[in-house]
Amino acid sequence: MDVNVKHDKQKESLTDEQVKEYIARSQQGDKHARDILVEKNIRLVWSVVQRFMNRGYDPDDLFQIGSIGLIKSIDKFDLSYDVRFSTYAVPMIIGEIQRFLRDDGSVKVSRSLKEIGNKIRKKKDELTKQNGRSPTVNEIAEALEITPEEVVHAQEAAKAPHSIHETVFENDGDPITLLDQIADQDSNWFDKLSLQEAIRGLNERERLILYLRYYKDKTQSEVAERLGISQVQVSRLEKKILYEMKDKMDM
């Protein structure tokens, strides 16, 4: 298969309906559906990771942690929500990375977590043969003298892509890495998504102020008259809104 054809095919995006269909199937245990969702949303993970690149951590570590957040968002997404999956997934991915950074990287994905994962696989096989059934998380944790949370964390990490430099396709000696696939020519797309998220967090009056000031080009006095408040109040509210939005987008 031609490299460009395969590359373009893998960049095809899913419709909202397709995403929800795959999420429903994934939550019912369809591994193939989950893999498709992860593959199609890896660029989203990488875009979030780029916002944390100056923290002194290996990009691969942050990417894998972010991928765990993506997987959790697939598992926990409520299909009754009237919201796009990416809108739900971004805070989950950010939260997963922030927890990792807050703990000062006490669990290093590239080393400790992978080592724990290997021990879990071996112990799981051993206990399965011994008991004639698959062991529970608590049984594995007890056998390895670690917490159940560590078992779950390591198992989630094993489901995530291993590295942004992992070769996903090779033709005539010219490899295409995961990073090649998720590189995006439009560097502003994630900022636009962040702006949308920040606006959604505003109340009705705050959104109206933004709409009148920046979409309708109304003066503060005109906005004040529309809302029945003073121009000084509009000025203070506008500064507060912009400050809070900037704070959310710089998360």
> Domains in the chain, start-ordered, CATH in brackets?
1-106+165-183 (1.20.120.1810), 107-158 (1.10.10.10), 201-249 (1.10.10)
H-state helical runs in 51-107 = 59-76, 85-102
Q: How far apart are CA 184 and CA 79, in angstroms?
A: 28
Q: How far apart are CA 218 and CA 222, in angstroms?
A: 6
Q: Which contacts (CB < 8 Å, 24+ apart) does range 240-247 have?
A: 241/202, 241/206, 241/209, 241/210, 244/198, 244/201, 245/195, 245/198, 245/199, 245/201, 245/202
- Choose the most confident range, by mean pLDDT, from 33-42, 111-120, 211-220: 33-42
Give the model confidence (pLDDT) of 167-225 as tens digits.
Answer: 544 545 555 455 554 444 444 555 556 666 677 778 888 888 888 887 777 888 888 88
**Predicted pLDDT of residue 191:** 57
**Predicted pLDDT of residue 160:** 58
Mean pLDDT of 130-144: 89
How much of the chain, in percent, has pLDDT values that exceed 70?
72
How much of the chain, in percent, has pLDDT values that exceed 90?
13
- Enumerate residues 6+ apart whose C-beta is below 8 A from 182: 42, 43, 45, 46, 164
**Predicted pLDDT of residue 53:** 77
Residue 157 has pLDDT above 80, yes or no: no
- Enumerate residues 6+ apart whose C-beta is below 8 A from 71: 34, 38, 156, 159, 160
According to DSSP, the β-strands at 167-171 and 174-177 are: antiparallel
Average pLDDT, the chain: 76
Q: How far is CA 243 from CA 64, 240, 250, in A?
A: 31, 5, 11
- Residue of higher predicted confidence among 174 and 52: 52
- Enumerate residues 6+ apart whose C-beta is below 8 A from 132: none
| φ/ψ (deg, to 5) at 200 | -60, -25
- Residue of higher predicted confidence among 158 and 177: 158
pTM beyond 0.75: the answer is no
- Residue of higher predicted confidence among 55 and 226: 226
**Predicted pLDDT of residue 21:** 93
- Residue in 57, 156, 69, 58 with CA at minimum distance from that of residue 114: 156
- Residue of higher predicted confidence among 24 and 208: 24
Q: How far apart are CA 102 and CA 100, in angstroms?
A: 6
Task: Name the DSSP letter for residue 243.
Answer: H
- Residue of higher predicted confidence among 93 and 214: 93
Task: Name the DSSP letter for residue 140.
Answer: H
- Residue of higher predicted confidence among 54 and 67: 67
| φ/ψ (deg, to 5) at 167 | -75, 125
- Residue of higher predicted confidence among 101 and 65: 65
